[in-house]
Structure 1
Amino acid sequence: MSDLTGFGNYFNLNGKVALVTGGSRGLGLHTATAFLKAGAKTVIITARKYEGPQGIGQAVQKLNQLPKIRGRAIGIAANVAQIEGIEKLVSEIQKLEGRLDILVANAGATWGGPFETTPDWRTQKVLDLNVRGTFNLARLFTPLLESSGTITCPSRIIVVSSIAGTHVPHVGEHGTIVYAISKAATHHLTKNLAVELGPKNILTNSISPGFFPSKLANGLIEILGGEEELKRANPCRRLGQPDDIGAVMVFLAGPGANYM
């Protein structure tokens, strides 16, 4: 008989402090919701703006109204494409909690259009947020993550990448070459971080979602024929749903993935 001593605790985030970038909507908000439902003590979400219908203020309010949660959500406005924004986050979290157990690098930018006329500022924006921002988040939060992690209970970095990083998804008029390049870079960045930070008791993994209805993806979904067309092209005959993200995020952040 196998001695599964931790079986009842695989998805337990009790007492954990998590940061989710781009947490005001879409995959980031699904992740923050799942963490709180799994028992996290504090879930910090960040985006560039606090106010407005897409700002983090409205998301924090929704999160803190979730039934039966024991923890709390906190919002901090910051631009994680810039080193100053990340340094601000580190300072704020040190003051608020003094620790960090889980870092989810979810904030991202995309661009679609013809290859030949791609504006350089668009290239810079996508690469600054998706690649440099993710690298600097991991680098600057390493001390807090290292101080929280142990060999039996490591801290976590979860990078939200994309299936666009492993194949050529769209070319021509609606090509997303810069986005695809940036996500391929985050795949290899994740591998490097896993090896670099593993000895510090920080585990690093990435996820590569397909299409989920969100502000980031909705424009391209419509261009490609709409949700129904993309559902027919998917072997599962559907697009991603909030529970799909919540489940994988809680698994990667919890004790069940202590050796992943």
Structure 2
Amino acid sequence: MKRRPSGLQRGLRWIAWLAFLGVAIWKSDSTSFGGLEFLALAVAVAITVWCLAKPMGPHKVDLTSPAQVRGEFSSRTNWAWVLVGALLTVAGVGATGAIVYDLSSGRADVGDVLTDIGVFIEGWFAEIFTKGFYDAELEKTRAYALAILLIPGLLLLWYNLIPLRHRGKRFLVDDFGEVRTKVRDGWRSLQPQRFTTATADGTTITFDGARGEPKLVLPQHRVYSVQHGVRLTDKLSAAFFTEHLTARGFTVEESGPAGFTAHRNDGSPTYTQPQ
């Protein structure tokens, strides 16, 4: 069976690529890569290849059916893409601020801004297509074109911070298919009979309580198995909870590949809140 990279390998990979990024920023005033940048890049690539070729973590497990949804699950944030989005956003904000300042102070007009953007983009593509043999002297431009990075930066931040904004409760599925949710002192049985409706929208699964029972929110976006590190897709999560609720007296209506609305049948057992 295939293995996944261990925690140590993932940590080394993070450190290597962050070190390369730091060196690249530190040497950003240079017109081309130097020996230190190439060394940092080579180390990062070598560690990444090693992690892929010789993973030392637990065996890789794929979740493909509701019957395989067992164990503990929690939502995760992809901090690597959050970091990339933050860097792009900072660069975009800086360039946008420079444009606004130069226009307001008279250092440049709209024509100058558009010309600088065109020169930067043309030179950037020229350096890419010539693989670095042609120096477009981009450092001599005002880099107004970097303002474009604000759009992908904000989109990356918005998309990758969804799990952080809609984390929901960590949950566990035991060997019998019963669902438990994380509470401060352990685990509490989900007991679907406590709720009148359940709604999944691809981001969260929300259980609306009956008789004053508070809402319960479970994550559905970027949910991973704690034991195996494999992702529980939103579609498989919807399929599992559809079966789970149907077997416990709910009528489930699908609303898309990863969404559903479930209503408790009148004849199903009801939950009485302890006095």
Judging by fraction of residues, say which structure has more strand.
2
Shorter-chain TM band: under 0.3
Q: What is the TM-score when the length of structure 2 is the normalising length?
A: 0.26
Q: What is the TM-score when the length of structure 1 is the normalising length?
A: 0.27
